[in-house]
Amino acid sequence: MIQIPRGTKDILPTDSSKWQYIEEVLRETCRNFNYKEIRTPIFEQTELFVRGVGDTTDIVNKEMYTFTDKGDRSMTLRPEGTAPAVRSYIENKMYGDPNQPIKLFYQGPMFRYERQQKGRYRQFEQFGVEAIGVEDPLIDVEVISLLLDIYKSFGLEKLELHINSIGDFESREEYQKALREHFAPSIGEFCSDCQSRLDKNPMRILDCKTDANHPLMKTAPNIQEYLNDASKEYFEAVKETLTKMGIGFVVDPNLVRGLDYYTHTAFELMSSAEGFGAITTLAGGGRYNGLIEMLDGPSETGIGFGMSIERLLLALEAEGIELPTDDTIDFYLVTMGEVARTEASVILHRLRTNGYRADMDYKARGMKAQIKDADRKKAKYMIVLGDSELESGKIHVRNMETREEVEANLDSFEEEVNFDEA
Ligand code: HAM
């Protein structure tokens, strides 16, 4: 038997209504904040991620699904949504649109060849937003508050917002220098990836999974001490506005994020719910001031975040929250005899055309089995259709919850039923 690839999953019909409910909330929140959807391809030229995400990151080095297409071009299944959104922003000259900033959201499958564990998959459904075209602490705060709105609208409470500033390029340069000095004398004790990161990008040593417990990790210099005045001021303004909004946060100087494009504000939303599992990050994001230029665009800046629906579902489970999904149907038609079956299918057509959810038995089962089926399909009302009903044009509509029955006309019962009672 052929099995599903490792690290992927089927979303079964019994679960899909949860996903649809979540997706609707995500879209609704974006509508409130005036973010518009962008849909980009699932694969892009490999170079987009190598340059955008960074060639010393784990994503690019170890986790990409890269293939050569029949035209001998290197393509990659997108591991994240920011680089594609920025590619499209540049290619479609959105920077010239009078409607600024450009506020985008996206949702779709992303692919990373990672070791499968709870909350970590090789194909996951990532939702994200990007606000491109302004550098202003207020837009940073807007993006963070959008993120929190999403999680709070599901009733989640055990949330912890971690924020940090990675500073501007000047501050980052200074910090990278300090990191090099810190790690250089003992770099021989680190993995080969870290050894090559020392020169190229020492910040990536900090999120190495292999050497996470090396004592030098704990004593590494702290970015906060290398922020220049402009970076400090920017970060202060972000923190101040968050506080005014009543959004609580923890400043986490170790938060450097695993992608190269970040400057200034970086943040992660963690779950503090018991039993969430080893990976507690629900969402992550930050400001990227160099990315657009790095991808040959104008000197515009942006900020955004990404989150997977899988981890949101884990958080809901950990906090014992049931989503108010509705998989009920309005009517179930129980039929007795061939003539009734055909007539029922005609009535079903009428009901569905008029916007009612309705179903019947297609397996020619006995009456008892059909009534069971009506229950299983969560019907609000059930109607028994036999020869006498067809002859008289009168039927009984049974409320499945109260078991009460009312008489109604076969050709208009849906208008006679009081749905408020169900
Ligand atoms: P990221 O931290 O790599 O950032 O991923 C963001 C979120 O995607 C994670 O917090 C997690 O919810 C989800 N995620 C990532 N990898 C997996 C996985 N293997 N399985 C399940 N969920 C996963 C980015 O992707 C940036 N593009 C975020 C961003 C947008 N920064 C600025 N704008």
The CA 281 to ligand 1 mean position distance, Å, reads: 9
The CA 251 to ligand 1 mean position distance, Å, reads: 20
Q: Which fold has domain 329-416?
A: Rossmann fold (3.40.50)
Mean pLDDT of the chain: 95
φ/ψ region of 133 (left if φ > 0, alpha if ψ in -120 to 50, else beta) reads left
> Would strands 263-271 and 250-251 be described as parallel, antiparallel, or unpaired?
unpaired
The CA 180 to ligand 1 mean position distance, Å, reads: 27
Question: In this predicted structure, what is the pLDDT of residue 421?
Answer: 59
The CA 111 to ligand 1 mean position distance, Å, reads: 10
pLDDT at 91 over 80: yes
- Could you tell me which residue, 71 or 274, shows the higher pLDDT? 71
Question: In this predicted structure, what is the pLDDT of residue 368?
Answer: 96
Q: Which residues sit in the known binding site?
A: 80-82, 112, 126, 130, 257, 261-262
Q: Which residues sit in the known binding site for L-histidine?
A: 80-82, 112, 126, 130, 257, 261-262
The string of pLDDT tens digits covering residues 315-355 is 999 999 999 999 999 999 999 999 999 999 999 999 999 99
> Would strands 329-335 and 302-308 be described as parallel, antiparallel, or unpaired?
unpaired
> Which of ligand 1's atoms lies nearest the C-alpha of 311?
12
How far apart, in whole angstroms, are the C-alpha atoms of residue 278 and residue 326?
32
> Which of ligand 1's atoms lies nearest the C-alpha of 81?
27
Q: Return the closest-CA partner of residue 105 out of 52, 44, 38.
A: 38
Q: Return the closest-CA partner of residue 105 out of 30, 179, 54.
A: 30
The string of pLDDT tens digits covering residues 103-139 is 999 999 999 999 989 999 999 999 999 999 999 999 9
Domains 13-168+228-319 and 329-416 share a fold: no
Question: In this predicted structure, what is the pLDDT of residue 302?
Answer: 98
CATH architecture observed for domain 13-168+228-319: 2-Layer Sandwich (3.30)
* Atom 5 (ligand 1) nearest CA: 306
Question: In this predicted structure, what is the pLDDT of residue 407?
Answer: 95
Query: Residues lining ligand 1, CB < 6 A?
Result: 80-82, 112, 114, 119-121, 124, 126, 128, 130, 258-259, 281-286, 304-308, 310-311
Give 279's pLDDT tier (boundaries 50, 70, 90): confident
How far apart, in whole angstroms, are the C-alpha atoms of residue 161 and residue 51?
29
The CA 298 to ligand 1 mean position distance, Å, reads: 25
* Atom 20 (ligand 1) nearest CA: 120
What angle, rounded to 10 degrees, do the helices at 169-183 and 192-200 form? 140
The CA 107 to ligand 1 mean position distance, Å, reads: 12
* Atom 7 (ligand 1) nearest CA: 307
Give 278's pLDDT tier (boundaries 50, 70, 90): confident
The CA 218 to ligand 1 mean position distance, Å, reads: 24
Q: What angle do CA 392, 395, 397 make, to 5 degrees?
A: 175
Question: In this predicted structure, what is the pLDDT of residue 277?
Answer: 76
Question: In this predicted structure, what is the pLDDT of residue 56?
Answer: 85
The string of pLDDT tens digits covering residues 382-394 is 999 999 999 999 9
Choosing from 38, 48, 117, 305 the residue with most ligand 1 atoms within 8 A of its CB, the one to mutate for a pocket test is: 305
Give 417's pLDDT tier (boundaries 50, 70, 90): confident
The string of pLDDT tens digits covering residues 193-241 is 999 999 988 998 988 888 989 999 999 999 999 999 999 999 999 999 9
Residue labelled with tokens 């990672």: 114
Question: In this predicted structure, what is the pLDDT of residue 210?
Answer: 87
**Contact partners, residue 41, CB within 8 Å, separation at least 6:** 78, 84
Where exactly are the structural domains of the chain? 13-168+228-319, 329-416
Q: Return the closest-CA partner of residue 43 out of 8, 67, 71.
A: 67
* Atom 26 (ligand 1) nearest CA: 306
The string of pLDDT tens digits covering residues 131-162 is 999 999 999 999 999 999 999 999 999 999 99
* Atom 6 (ligand 1) nearest CA: 306
Could you tell me the pTM of the whole model? Answer: 0.93
Give 422's pLDDT tier (boundaries 50, 70, 90): low
331 membership: H or E segment, kind and range: strand 329-335
The CA 25 to ligand 1 mean position distance, Å, reads: 19
The string of pLDDT tens digits covering residues 358-391 is 999 999 999 999 999 999 999 999 999 999 999 9
